[in-house]
Amino acid sequence: CTLFFLCTGAQADMALQLPHMFGDHMVLQRDKPVHVWGWARRGQTVSVSFGGQDKSATTSADGKWQVRLDAMEANATGQDLTVAAGGERLTFGDVLVGEVWLCGGQSNMEWRLRSSRDADVEIPSARYPAIRFMRIEPEGAPQPMDDFPAENGAGVWQPCTPETIGECSGVAYFFGQRLHRRLDVPVGLINAAWGGTMAQHWVTRETLETIPAARPFIEDYERKCRAWNDGGSEEGAAKRFAADLKRWEAVAATAKAEG
């Protein structure tokens, strides 16, 4: 996975950087310690300032660093979160503190508000400056990733306005709206839904391995992966792919010539 590579070995001597999870207009979780992490040049001291707190850490050999902000009460007043290392400085503005929810699942969660029932009524009235949302583009990986892409309008925090909310998950929006009204605190919604995914796609392999009923499926998956990579057997698809493709192309060309 190219992204995973860029976020590990190549980080040791790179400029100060944080994952796309951190950005302008974001919401930090209230009443719990908040971890802030990223990358910088190895051996550098990184300082993080927010809400009257100042924390620091030294980057490890692979360039990674992490600090932990103390638990904070909800705050609907936008503040700056500043990260500095050496002569570099990153500032994220209009940061709130409140409830942060990960909205995962299938297409029913992925379905955007602009395509939902009564969108022509809901979108014009969606003026909730303390509700923020982020949409993450589907990205598969065999191991947990350190970051995700920010492209095509995804991977960035956006305040809830009639101009932006149409791209938010409909289910997530109505949930966040009700939560905001009930608790009277800022709400951050992270939509990572992917249509058609199964429940096991949303848990780690380590978690699946603790479930006895899942072990036969994991073993079967590993066997098929070995067969794919090894080749030479009936299931050696990786090594047979080029030959199979040539046969298919020949059959397709013949069929096309025969009309």
How is 94-161 classified by DSSP, letter by letter? EEEEEEEEEE--SHHHH-BGGGSTTHHHHTTT--EEEEEEEE------SS--S-----TT-SS-EEE-
What does the pLDDT read at residue 9? Answer: 47
Q: What's the pTM?
A: 0.77
pLDDT digits (tens), the chain, 259 positions: 333 333 444 455 679 999 999 999 999 999 999 999 999 999 999 999 999 999 999 999 999 999 999 999 999 999 999 999 999 999 999 999 999 999 999 999 999 999 999 999 999 999 999 999 999 998 888 778 899 988 888 999 999 999 999 999 999 999 999 999 999 999 999 999 999 998 878 888 888 899 999 899 999 988 887 877 776 555 566 667 778 888 999 999 999 999 7
Non-local CB neighbours of 172 within 8 Å, separated by 6+ positions: 101, 103, 109, 133, 189, 191
What does the pLDDT read at residue 7? Answer: 44
Torsion angle of C-alpha atoms 146, 87, 26, 144, degrees rounded to 10:
0
What domains are there in the chain, each with its CATH number?
Answer: 2-202 (2.60.40.10), 213-257 (no CATH)
Q: Which residues are bridge partners to 132 per DSSP?
A: 159, 188
What does the pLDDT read at residue 239? Answer: 64
Cα–Cα distance measured from residue 236 to residue 229, given in angstroms and rounded to the nearest whole number: 7
Contact 98, 130 (CB under 8 A): yes
What does the pLDDT read at residue 13? Answer: 65
What does the pLDDT read at residue 141? Answer: 80
Contact 104, 122 (CB under 8 A): no
